[in-house]
Amino acid sequence: MKIGFIGLGIMGKPMAKNLRAAGYELLVHDIVAGPVDELVAAGAAKADSAREVAEQSDCVITMLPNSPEVEEVILGENGVLEGVRDGSIVVDMSSIAPLVSQRVGEKLKAKGAEFLDAPVSGGEPKAVDGTLAIMVGGDEAVFNKLEPILLKMGASAVLCGEIGSGNVTKLANQIVVALNISAVSEAMVLATKAGVDPEKVFNAIKGGLAGSTVMNAKMPMILDRNFNPGFRIELHIKDLQNALDTAHEIGVPVPLTGEVMEFMQALKVQGKEKNDHGGLVQFFEGLAGVEVHRKA
């Protein structure tokens, strides 16, 4: 099966590399040259447009920032829809609004192609390791056909329901992650101002009920003051906006999500939107006038 891959950013580049390493014939496209050249050096071919990718691939994977980019790349001029072959499968692995997934799926179906929305969780390290958690929406037969490919990029791939369900699941994931980082941040600012070494607090509680994958991933970064992304605050703002919009549209108040959104907006005003979302701790530090870091 020849795979086309569009969007070679922090996540897409290592995911595409893992497909290439697994032996798949790969055709790649991005508007930035650097990562395309890296994939070509790894044995992939390059295409000049999304349309060209679709014309030459049995399966097209997209890994783009948000709904507008996915609509542009799939539905727009010189996009996937213009070139897609009858019977081929398009898999959007970006985190976008579930309603956009449904719209894209309908348009592709009308052209005889299949569609899955398959966003991921795990961040760059798991994209590199090929151990992402993949949440999928779409038809079961299509999912079964694609599962071996998905499992070259992820440790798990779970079919959650119809098209759009993958992104509903991802919104739930992003709410839990955002609230978890906020809780860890608030707690560690308290410990620091109380004069207790936050690294000791982390080591003492990580194996108990308060421990989490989020805490294990973000606390070492916070202690090192390493806010290089990873997952940028601006992308998490995008996910929380999609969560708020979707929730309000179907009549679900999400008060905690709204509150964390404002923490992130405050950091954006301070020019920190390109920080990793572990940088959320800086909001709580600003309130208390302390900094959480490793003891010298």
Contacting residue, 65, 220, 258, 286, with ligand NAD by CB under 6 A: 65
Residue closest to 94 by CA, chosen among 35, 216, 12: 12
Of residues 225-264, those binding ligand NAD (CB under 6 A): 230-231, 235
Q: Is 279 near ligand NAD (CB under 6 A)? A: no
Q: Is 124 near ligand NAD (CB under 6 A)? A: yes
User: How many Cα neighbours within 13 Å face the side chain of 121?
Assistant: 24
Contacting residue, 44, 90, 91, 120, with ligand NAD by CB under 6 A: 120
Give CA angle at 235 (234, 236), nearest 5°: 90
| Window of 40-48, 65-73, 216-224, 244-252 that interacts with ligand NAD by CB under 6 A | 65-73
| Window of 6-14, 102-110, 176-184, 242-250 that interacts with ligand NAD by CB under 6 A | 6-14
Closest CB to ligand NAD: residue number = 9
Contacting residue, 3, 4, 5, 6, with ligand NAD by CB under 6 A: 6
| Window of 60-68, 150-158, 187-195, 199-207 that interacts with ligand NAD by CB under 6 A | 60-68
> What is the spatial distance between Cα 30 and Cα 6, in angstroms, rounded to a whole number?
6
Contacting residue, 3, 8, 84, 146, with ligand NAD by CB under 6 A: 8
Of residues 33-52, those binding ligand NAD (CB under 6 A): 35
Q: Which residues of 68-89 are buried (b: 16+ CB within 10 A; e: fewer)?
A: ebbbebbbbeebbbbbbeeebb
What amino acid occupies position 8? L
Contacting residue, 73, 113, 133, 134, with ligand NAD by CB under 6 A: 73
Considering the candidates 13, 170, 238, 272, report the single residue annotated as catalytic. Answer: 170
Q: Is 63 near ligand NAD (CB under 6 A)? A: yes
Task: Give 232's DSSP letter.
Answer: B
Residue with tokens 């990793």: 276
Residue closest to 48 by CA, chosen among 62, 23, 73, 31: 31
Identify the burial level of 32 via C-beta atoms within 10 angstroms of its C-beta, where 0-12 means exposed, 13-18 middle and 19 or more buried: exposed
SS3 (DSSP) at 208: coil
79: alpha, beta or left? (left if phi > 0; alpha if psi -120 to 50): beta
Write down the H helix ranges in 159-288.
165-193, 198-205, 213-223, 233-249, 255-269, 281-288
Which of 8/201 has CB closer to ligand NAD?
8
Which of 131/190 has CB closer to ligand NAD?
131
Q: Is 98 near ligand NAD (CB under 6 A)? A: no
CB of 229 to ligand NAD, least distance (A): 6
CB of 269 to ligand NAD, least distance (A): 21
Structure tokens at 30: 């991005």
> What is the spatial distance between Cα 189 and Cα 198, in angstroms, rounded to a whole number?
8
Q: Answer yes or no: 145 catalytic.
A: no
Q: Is 83 near ligand NAD (CB under 6 A)? A: no
> What is the spatial distance between Cα 198 and Cα 212, in angstroms, rounded to a whole number?
16
Q: Which residues are catalytic?
A: 170
Residues at the site binding ligand NAD, with contacts judged by CB under 6 A: 6-12, 29-32, 35, 63-66, 69, 72-73, 94-95, 120-121, 123-124, 230-231, 235
